[in-house]
């Protein structure tokens, strides 16, 4: 069960990304549910599991874009590590959680676009990364709220590694 729940979560979030993200996109700006998934997992499980999980999920995403195999694995493992290492911050309200999602998505896209579009990364940060990070933050909070309403164990406090 310890490994089954994260695997099931990965499948659900990848399905959300593949089937829903495109449909709720505003223009070409879509939320990144995979980033939401990695951040939530990192917050729950800490740096070690967060980075391992991020690498695994990122590698799965890379399989669909094989010209850059390893890029998503790298960025999402960093994201999982950072989310897991937030430390003993104050207990999060929705605003703090939204900021975590926003900063996480922005930093993730910054590293991603820096490598992917090098050296022409300038405008993409403004036109793609920034609005996308905002959208991801909103989607992330919505997902967290829905999970909470369903009774799932979601982020209730930073700093302590939670177990299912």
Positions touching other proteins (CB under 8 A) are 11, 14-15, 17-19, 21-23, 25, 28, 30, 32, 34, 46-48, 51-52, 55, 58-74, 77-78, 81, 84-85, 115-117, 120, 123-124, 127-128, 132
Q: Which is nearer to other proteins, 64 or 163 (CB)?
A: 64
Residue 58 CB: number of other CB atoms within 10 A?
24
**Would you say 80 and 52 are in contact if contact means Cβ atoms under 8 Å apart?**
yes
SS3 29: strand
Distance CA 158, CA 91 (A): 6
Give the shortest CB-2-to-other proteins separation in angstroms. Answer: 18
Q: Which is nearer to other proteins, 67 or 93 (CB)?
A: 67
Give the shortest CB-137-to-other proteins separation in angstroms. Answer: 15
Q: Which two tokens stand for residue 127?
A: 């036109």
Is the peptide bond prior to 5 cis by the omega test (within 30 degrees of 0)? no
Q: Which is nearer to other proteins, 65 or 156 (CB)?
A: 65
């Amino acid at each position: 069960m310890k490994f089954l729940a994260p695997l099931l979560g990965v499948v659900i979030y990848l399905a959300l990304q593949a089937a829903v993200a495109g449909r709720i996109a505003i223009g070409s700006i879509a939320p990144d549910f995979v980033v939401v998934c990695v951040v939530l997992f990192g917050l729950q499980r800490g740096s070690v599991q967060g980075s391992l999980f991020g690498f695994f999920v990122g590698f799965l995403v890379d399989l669909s874009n094989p010209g850059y195999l390893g890029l998503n694995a790298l960025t999402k493992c960093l994201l999982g590590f950072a989310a897991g290492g937030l430390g003993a911050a104050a207990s999060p309200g929705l605003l703090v959680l939204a900021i975590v999602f926003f900063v996480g998505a922005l930093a993730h896209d910054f590293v991603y676009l820096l490598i992917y579009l090098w050296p022409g990364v300038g405008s993409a940060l403004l036109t793609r990364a920034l609005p996308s990070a905002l959208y991801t933050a909103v989607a992330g909070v919505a997902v967290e709220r829905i999970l909470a309403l369903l009774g799932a164990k979601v982020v209730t406090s930073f700093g302590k590694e939670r177990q299912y």
